[in-house]
Structure 1
Amino acid sequence: MKRIFFYIAGFCCMFNAHAQMHQYNTNFTLSEKNFVDTVAIEYENDQIYVPVIIQGKKYRFNLDTGSSQGLLYTDTQIPNLQELGNVISHDANGVTDTIKVVQLPNLMLGHQNINGYVASIVKKPIGKVNYDGIIGFDIFNKGIGAKIDPKNKIMILSDRKHYFDHEAGQTLKYNLKWFVPYIMVSPFMRHTDEVLFDTGAKQLYQMNRESFMEHRYKSKQVNAQVEGEATGNFTVATNSTEKQDKVYFLNLNRLKWNEFAFKNVRTITTQGASRIGSQLFNYGSIVINPKKKRITFQPYNNSDSVNVSNKQFGVAFIEKENQPYIGLIWHKSEAYKNGMRQGDIVLKIDNEPINSYQEFIDYPFTTGKKYKFVLQDPRGFKKEVFVTH
């Protein structure tokens, strides 16, 4: 969901694979060389999806630059997977787990037949998942460049060395950490922040709390952009929900990508890495040039700035004992003013019982509609709260 008062905790995944029985590699092969190919894509709910053909059947894969390699879920319907062993994975909250690694059957992406593509098997996130797997940044680490253009619903792929060298736009160099791309942006004047370029995350920008604390001690103009603070948790990663900690609500005058400014950006701090997410595609296309380790932003408005003016997060709902639980709430939000509090559990919405976190995730909210929540507070008392979505 975007630009609303609710925030249902997002599923974030960032893998760096410290090998046990399988090591990160880009040994998969492509059927063509010296190619240029155009692939149809979808941009839906702030995510990029590409069609993949496996053994004659069409699957939908999410393009996630924050994942070092492919991902499938434990209930995957993709047949004939070859087990390769296990890796120790690190999720967006830094929590580790041992997960299975498999090799997919040959898959078709555009006109390319990809042989030997590797994916990790992880537990399925709570809620509806409208895709079959994830393609990670390994496709670019292989040396394949891309222009991702959601406005025209295409992605251009090429392995030619200089094919993307002369693309116009705002260009940043990236460095690989754990096989995924990190760039430098400027959230405050005379300050830079190292961020993960993560198309698997929806939010335009989130800032690591420790990074924010370093900035605020150096400059009064940083403190002037703090709207408020609260203690709680809101991010659900692959292996964990982040621990309770202080969260800062920020209203950035501008967020600069090279010389381009995203103005009036509201965001919050997070325990995970700072990141630029796929809401970037609401404002422009992206060119990834792995030959020169560059990412270029091409604004749709052909200007040097855009006014974002998004709403601040109000409430974060997380899962606790299979119930929707308010993990974080901002004291200036409508929900707080009407009586919602951290620790409340959702029992009903508009008199419809909510028996699990899954049912809450799947509830058909409509933006702009007012809903009646029946909540149970930590003491066991029930209350009714009306909130506009």
Structure 2
Amino acid sequence: MKKIVLLVLFALCIGRSWAQMHAYSTNFTFSETNFVDTIPIELVNGQILFNAEVGGVIRKFCFDTGSSQGTIFAQNGAILYKELGNVLSRDGVGHQDTTKVAMLPNFRLGHLEVSGYVASVFKQQVRQNYDAIIGFDIINKGLCCKIDTRRNIMILTDRRDVFDREIGYSIGYKLRWWVPYILVSPFKRHWDEVLFDTGSRQLFTMNKQSFDKHVYKSKQVNAQVEQRVKGHVSIGSMGAERPDEVAFLKMERLRWDNFVFTNVRAITTQGASRIGTDILKYGTITIDGYRRKITFIPHDGRDSTEVNNKTYSIAYVPYQGKPTVGLILPGCDEYKAGLRQGDMLLEVDGQPLKSFLDFQHFPFVIGRTYKLLVRTKEGKNKMVMITR
């Protein structure tokens, strides 16, 4: 079970709402000023989670800098909300649609009470470990933040100078769709605009169109491609990205300001290029909402680190509500067993999978063999035996 969950979450692009901010009120307020508050956090499957008290009940929230504002899931029911109307929203893989906007009840975050917080309402695409998302609007409101996963804390403050003595590698960010974009260097003499996205797990993923431009400009980029496969891996709040070529990269280095990550594996997707929460394995992050900069502070004090991360061989995405093989590498165990890109999973050991959530909740056990009933892209059913 652990392996399958990791495969799904590895491919996951957590839903974010890039909504038209002027179309509704975001005038939420804090109960205090001139504060410094330390909030316990936990990193679960690459998501920054913390407790918030809502109506006297402790709920789990996720801090997602790739979301311009909050998100709540329509069918969850854990938090009641007041609908405010509709707004045009765009998710992390480029889907665009009209979504509902709601105001959450007052909630307590550490010692702060937050009132009038606005969130987009989405249908839950995949299983989540939390009840709601807090977006980058909490920083845009005028806060600074430090995230330290070694100490499992997040420090929030409205004071400008709290982190001024922190020594690290700083990059200024620009707001696009009200979320932070920075410039990093994925290849020598190449720069890429990326979203700093704590809703994404991977250290680095690259937009496919941006990658194609880099390849066109330099042969040394193409030399860092390990494989090219047709498929799709990312899941936004409105569904999976469209199928396209996915390039598997083994990058010589990824440069953040003057800090260098070496031997980095990454993939291309249809969404924005992004830096995700895996960066927190190597240091702490401070976000300065006043000066609009993000600072990386390495744990070991050095100016480089070797990543040498592993890639994955298969990813599942929802298609027509069903679990489907979004991407599979030729030669992997699942490929040898008979699974192919586009295969839709109908049953596991005779138990029907009515939805993608059913697949995520299935109690897989590592080392056990399962009989899958799948339907191919051509509409034919077949049985496949796989071992988790």
**TM over 0.5, yes or no?**
yes
Distance 1:370 1:308 in 2: 31
1:17 matched residue in structure 2: 19
- CA displacement at 1:364 relative to structure 2: 3.7
Distance 1:227 1:279 in 2: 21
Between stretches 351-360 and 204-213, larger displacement belongs to 351-360
1:113 matched residue in structure 2: 113
Which is richer in helix? 2
Task: Indicate conservation of the 8 Å contact 2:64/2:197, yes or no.
Answer: yes
1:65 matched residue in structure 2: 65
Task: Indicate conservation of the 8 Å contact 1:5/1:314, yes or no.
Answer: no
- CA displacement at 1:156 relative to structure 2: 1.0
Change (3 A) 1:111 1:226: same
1:85 matched residue in structure 2: 85
Between stretches 293-302 and 179-188, larger displacement belongs to 293-302
2:243 matched residue in structure 1: 244
Where 2:335 maps in the other structure, the secondary structure is: helix
- CA displacement at 1:24 relative to structure 2: 5.8
Unaligned runs of 5+ residues in structure 1 are: none
Change (3 A) 1:5 1:58: closer
Between stretches 95-104 and 170-179, larger displacement belongs to 95-104
- CA displacement at 1:232 relative to structure 2: 1.6
Please give the root-mean-square deviation of Cα atoms over the aligned residues, in Å.
2.3
Percentage of identical aligned residues:
44
2:267 matched residue in structure 1: 268
The number of residue pairs the alignment matches comes to 383
1:165 matched residue in structure 2: 164
Distance 1:203 1:183 in 2: 16
Distance 1:358 1:13 in 2: 15
1:116-127 to 2 correspondence within 5 Å? 116-127=116-127
Kindly provide the CA deviation profile for residues 275-319 of structure 1, in whole angstroms up to 9, marking residues without a partner as x.
Answer: 111122222211011111111112223222222222223112122
Change (3 A) 1:163 1:83: same
Where 1:253 maps in the other structure, the secondary structure is: strand
Distance 2:5 2:106 in 1: 41
Compute the TM-score of the two structures, normalised by the length of structure 2: 0.91
Distance 2:133 2:222 in 1: 38
Task: Indicate conservation of the 8 Å contact 1:4/1:313, yes or no.
Answer: no
Distance 1:133 1:5 in 2: 21
Change (3 A) 1:270 1:16: same
Where 2:330 maps in the other structure, the secondary structure is: coil
- CA displacement at 1:64 relative to structure 2: 0.4
1:156-235 to 2 correspondence within 5 Å? 156-235=155-234
Distance 1:72 1:195 in 2: 25
Distance 2:353 2:162 in 1: 53
Change (3 A) 1:331 1:206: same
Change (3 A) 1:239 1:348: closer
Task: Indicate conservation of the 8 Å contact 1:5/1:333, yes or no.
Answer: no
- CA displacement at 1:16 relative to structure 2: 2.2
Where 2:185 maps in the other structure, the secondary structure is: strand
Kindly provide the CA deviation profile for residues 104-128 of structure 1, in whole angstroms up to 9, marking residues without a partner as x.
Answer: 222111111112111111111233x
- CA displacement at 1:86 relative to structure 2: 1.5
Task: Indicate conservation of the 8 Å contact 2:17/2:120, yes or no.
Answer: no
